[in-house]
Copies of this chain bind each other. A is one copy, B any other.
């Protein structure tokens, strides 16, 4: 019988300092010292105790009462885009329904910030954490994993997060639908602009969806019509300009995010190319800005708010020791047709 927990399946007795002390073969004060960062503890002892604290999922008393147990942390690489607002709205909603709260953190404040995040989680302030966007790829992911708080990855960046339960969107299907829509309109030269230089999971899945649609229609892929960029406006402008300057330019561009699509709009405006008459554009995300673009942007809707809700609910379920139906959940996307796509014109350049 080793240190693993509740093999019985029944809820274990509350884990207190005494539990850990007994298991570690030390006194309660020693465990207390480790928890409080007192450096007067031999490092072997400290290591053993820290391991046991993790294994047993020790939570400070203060985090066991209903008043304070209820906080989960969402962690982003940076706080900088509108779609985070949608996530947050969803998560905040379910936390409040559960009488709990949502804390938001970013990782762009240097390593001290990360340490602190961990310290707070350890101190029992957090019921769980959501690593959103690419934040699951940071070393933090591994460390949080050792902690005894449930962690889920929301739209993770790379495969790195494979060990965490994951919430994502149907990127591949959405991208395929978007491309098929353009093909159905009659487009034969369809360019695409990726984000994160094609590196992030979602970017790769979308690009593959685009390729699958082309292949499904018996069209051969033209590599010169695929531009790798970042998930942002400026990058969209640059890539679209290259595409528009192509000797045999595309009649449609599938931008792998709405921000990129907005960049395509600007590039088209600078070249005097009108949308959708001379160039069809499809985005991905369906941010509020997609509706406000002129003309309104045809795009693939990601249910960002629902993804946030599901992520929060999953953490909560994990905290209640429920078993997940699936370690990987993908919410469906759907194409929203608005004003930026039309039949191709033969003469799209003056």
The interface of chain A, by Cβ under 8 A from chain B, is: 60-63, 65, 67-68, 70-71, 73, 78-82, 84-85, 88-89, 92-93, 96-97, 99, 101-106, 109, 113, 116, 119-120, 123-125, 233, 259, 262-263, 265-266, 269, 288-289, 291-292, 294-296
Check B294 against A82 for contact (C-beta < 8 Å): no
Our pick among B81, B89, B101, B294 for the contact of A73 (Cβ within 8 Å) is B101
Check A92 against B79 for contact (C-beta < 8 Å): yes
Hey, which chain B residues are within 8 Å of A106, CB to CB?
89, 92-93, 96
Check B103 against A103 for contact (C-beta < 8 Å): yes
Hey, which chain B residues are within 8 Å of A113, CB to CB?
96
Known pairs A61-B62, A96-B106, A96-B116 / 9 extra A-B pairs, C-beta < 8 Å: A67-B120, A79-B85, A80-B89, A81-B85, A101-B103, A101-B125, A102-B105, A233-B288, A289-B292
A129 to chain B, nearest CB (A): 12
Sample 10 A-B pairs with CB under 8 A, ordered by A number. A62-B62, A71-B103, A71-B125, A78-B89, A79-B92, A96-B105, A96-B116, A266-B296, A289-B289, A294-B294
Hey, which chain B residues are within 8 Å of A265, CB to CB?
292, 294
Q: In the complex, A78→B88 CA distance in Å? A: 11
Q: In the complex, A99→B96 CA distance in Å? A: 24
Our pick among B92, B93, B120, B269 for the contact of A294 (Cβ within 8 Å) is B269
Copies of this chain present in the complex amount to 2
Q: In the complex, A343→B125 CA distance in Å? A: 58
Our pick among B104, B266, B269 for the contact of A102 (Cβ within 8 Å) is B104
Q: In the complex, A103→B127 CA distance in Å? A: 14
Q: In the complex, A93→B124 CA distance in Å? A: 22
Hey, which chain B residues are within 8 Å of A96, CB to CB?
105-106, 109, 113, 116
Q: In the complex, A65→B120 CA distance in Å? A: 11
Interchain residue pairs A-B with the least CB separation, the first 3: A62-B62, A67-B123, A79-B89
Our pick among B60, B67, B73 for the contact of A67 (Cβ within 8 Å) is B60
A116 to chain B, nearest CB (A): 5
Given the contacts A123-B68, A266-B292, A99 and B116 also touching, CB distance less than 8 Å: yes
Hey, which chain B residues are within 8 Å of A104, CB to CB?
88, 92, 102-104
Q: In the complex, A306→B125 CA distance in Å? A: 28
Q: In the complex, A125→B289 CA distance in Å? A: 36
A86 to chain B, nearest CB (A): 9
A154 to chain B, nearest CB (A): 16
Q: In the complex, A159→B93 CA distance in Å? A: 29
